């Protein structure tokens, strides 16, 4: 922002010879077990588990606030 004016500039991309980021590969490997466990489950099953976990956290928070 310059003198109350927003100025945009094109993003300069840089080509890399690396196959990928080291931290992304490590993160991907950390979740291998989770991916394996979820492989045989439907999206609805996974979403139901997520909803259940969120509800449990919200209920726990609510009981502490009372």
Domain segments of the chain as ranges:
22-65
pLDDT for the residue numbered 65? 58
pLDDT at site 55: 95
Residues 41-65 have pLDDT tens digits of 999 999 999 999 999 999 988 776 5
DSSP secondary structure, 48-59, as one string: HHHHHHHHHHHH
**Six token digits for residue 36:** 């394996």
* Both structure tokens of 22: 């080291």
Cα–Cα distance between 43 and 16 in angstroms, integer?
35
Helices and strands (H, E) in the chain, number of each type: 3, 0
Q: How far is CA 14 from the centre of its chain?
A: 25
* pTM beyond 0.85, yes or no: no
Residues 15-48 have pLDDT tens digits of: 665 667 889 999 999 999 988 988 989 999 999 9
């Amino acid at each position: 922002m310059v003198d109350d004016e927003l100025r945009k500039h094109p993003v300069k991309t840089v080509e890399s010879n690396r196959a990928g980021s080291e931290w992304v590969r490590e993160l991907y490997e950390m979740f291998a077990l989770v991916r394996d466990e979820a492989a045989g489950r439907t999206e609805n099953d996974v979403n139901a588990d997520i909803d259940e976990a969120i509800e449990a956290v919200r209920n726990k928070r609510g009981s502490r606030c009372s």
